[in-house]
Amino acid sequence: MRRFIAIFSSNLPHTFLIAQKLSPRIEICPPDGLLVEVTARSERKALKTFFEQTDSPQKTGSASTRITAILAAHTRSGTVVPDGKELDFLASLPVGRLSLILQESDSQLLSTLLQWGIHTLGDLTALPEKDLVTRLGQKGFHLQKMARGEDVQPFQPYREAPQFKESRELEWTLDSLESFAFILKRMLERLCIRLHNYGQAADSLHLTLQLDDHTVHERTLRLAFPMRHPEILLSLLRLDLQSHPPHSGIVGVSLQAIPVRPRLIQHSLLELSSSNPEKLSGTLARLTTLLGEGNIGTPALLDTHRPDAICMNPLQVEPARCARREKSKRASHAAKKESVLRTQSESGDSIPLALRRFRPPLPTHLSTHQIVACSGPWRSSGDWWRGTAHEWSRDEWDVELVDGSIRRIYWDPLKKLWFLEGIYD
C-alpha cells in the first residue's frame, strides 16, 4: 500500500536530495513543498530520516492521499493519518485550509461557502453532491472531493530534463583529425540514440575541445535542419574542424546537442523531389568550408531606400507544413504566383528587365559623344539624420552608349564623382 509524505521546508534543495535517497517518485509542490511516495512499510523509516537529516525547520505530514498529507503537515507537523481515517481527520479542519491547495481564482468559492455557513470540511462533505454541483458546477464537485481527502489531480513525479551531452577525456593527445573522428563517431552514435529515444533531434551541436596547452577550443555548429543521423553530423563536424582546426593536440572532448522536436516534411506528388534536408545541410557545410562564411546564403532585402541594401541569411530548410490550412494557403500562393508568372510571359513574351550590379560601384567618366540616349536625373537621398558617415545622395541616370550597352550611372554630390552602378541586361 502506498503512502504520501508531505514535507514543507525552507531548504528545499537539501530536502529534495534526502527525498531522492528514499524514493524515486517525488512531486514538487511549489513554492516550498515536496510529496514523496513511499510504501506503508518504509513510511516510519522515511519520516525518521527526514527528522534526523534536516536541520532547517520543516513541516511533515503523512497520509494515504496527497491532499490529506498536505493538510496534515499544515495542521501539525509530524501528523500521521492512518489509512481509512482521513474523513475523521479532515472533518474538524476549517474550510479555509483548502486555500493551501486551491488556485487563487478558485479561492472565491471558499468565501461563498463561508457565507452559506459551511465552516468545516465535515460540513462540506455533508452537503448533497447533486445540489452542490448545481450551484457551483464542476469546481464544487472537486471541492467536495478534496474535503473528503480524495486526490483530484494525478500524481506527477519529477523527472530530470534529459542531458544530451557526451564527454570524454583522452588518455593520450590526438593531433590527427582522422583518429579524432573515430572518437567523435562513437560519441555521436550514443548521442543520436538518446535523441531518438526521447523523440528529439539536434538543432545545433556545441563542441568543446580541451587542448594540451590548457586552452579550450569551442565550436558551435548550427544545423540548417534538425537531424539525428550520426554519419551526417560527423561529416558536418569534420568539415567544420577542417576549416577551424584546433591549434594544439586534443586531450579532452565534450559534445552537447541542443534538442528540438524533429521536423517532418510531406513531399508532394506534383512537385519534383526536393533535396534531402540532411544531405542539403552536408552540401552547405562543404560549400562553407570551401568558400568561407559570409559568401554563401540567401539574399534578403533590407527595409530602406538605400540602394543595394541587402543582407545574407543562412539557408533554412522550411519546416513541415503540418497544418492543413497553412498547406493549402501556401499551395494557393504558389499556384497564384505561377499563374502570374505564366500570364506575364503569355502577354507578349515580356519579362522584367534586370540590372547587373557592380559591387562596389565603379568610378566612371563618360563624354557626351559616347551617349546615344539618356534619361534622368532621378534624385534620391537618405540617412542624413544618422550622420555624415551614413548619409547618401545621388542623381541617377539611365544611359545608352554607342557600344550598345545600357547603363545606370549616378552622380554622387557628396563625393563629387560619377559612378557606374550597373548594366541593364
Partner 1 sequence: MLNQTSTPPRLSSLTIRGSELDEKTHQQYLGTGIRTLDLLLSGGIPRGHITQIMGPASSGKTSLLLSILAQATARREWVAYIDPFSSLNPACAQKAGIDLKRLLWIRGPKKILKATDILVGAGGFGVVVLDLVTQGRTMDSRIFQKTPSTAWFRLKHAARRTSTALLILGQEINAGSAVSRVISLRRRKTQWNYAADKKKSTDPHHALLLHGICNELELLRGKDLHAHATFYCHFQL
Q: For residue 120, give the DSSP letter.
A: B
Is 350 a binder of partner 1 (CB under 8 A)?
yes
Is 344 a binder of partner 1 (CB under 8 A)?
yes
Is 271 a binder of partner 1 (CB under 8 A)?
yes
Q: What one-letter code names the amino acid at 248?
A: S
β-strand 58-63 against 201-211: which pairing, if any? unpaired
Q: What one-letter code names the amino acid at 112?
A: T
* Closer residue to partner 1 (CB): 183 or 355: 355
Alpha helices (H) along 76-229: 86-91, 107-115, 121-126, 129-136, 138-147, 177-197
Is 366 a binder of partner 1 (CB under 8 A)?
no
Is 13 a binder of partner 1 (CB under 8 A)?
no
Is 272 a binder of partner 1 (CB under 8 A)?
yes
Residue position matching grid coordinates 564527454: 167
**Distance (Å, rounded) from C-alpha 191 to C-alpha 119?**
57
* Of the residues 44, 319, 405, 413, which one makes contact with partner 1 according to CB under 8 A: 405
Query: Rule CB under 8 A: which of 211-270 touch partner 1?
Result: 268
Beta bridge partners of 250: 174, 211
* Of the residues 193, 300, 322, 414, which one makes contact with partner 1 according to CB under 8 A: 300
Beta-sheet strand order (sheet of 26-29)? 26-29, 33-39, 2-9, 58-63, 79-80
* Of the residues 189, 212, 400, 412, which one makes contact with partner 1 according to CB under 8 A: 400
- Stretch of residues binding partner 1 (CB under 8 A), selected from 63-71, 156-164, 189-197, 401-409: 401-409
Q: Is the peptide bond before 82 cis (omega within 30 degrees of 0)?
A: no
Is 322 a binder of partner 1 (CB under 8 A)?
no
* Of the residues 156, 173, 176, 316, which one makes contact with partner 1 according to CB under 8 A: 316
Angle at 340 between CA 336 and CA 346, to 5 degrees: 140
**Distance (Å, rounded) from C-alpha 360 to C-alpha 411?**
15
Is 361 a binder of partner 1 (CB under 8 A)?
no
At residue 253, φ and ψ (nearest 5 deg) are -140, 140
User: What is the chain's Cα-based Rg?
Assistant: 36
- Stretch of residues binding partner 1 (CB under 8 A), selected from 108-116, 120-128, 194-202, 312-320: 312-320
Is 299 a binder of partner 1 (CB under 8 A)?
yes
Is 422 a binder of partner 1 (CB under 8 A)?
yes
Site residues (vs partner 1, CB under 8 A): 268, 271-272, 274-276, 279-280, 282-284, 286-287, 290-292, 295-301, 308, 310, 312, 315-316, 318, 334, 337-338, 340-341, 344-346, 348-359, 373-378, 397-398, 400, 403-406, 422-425
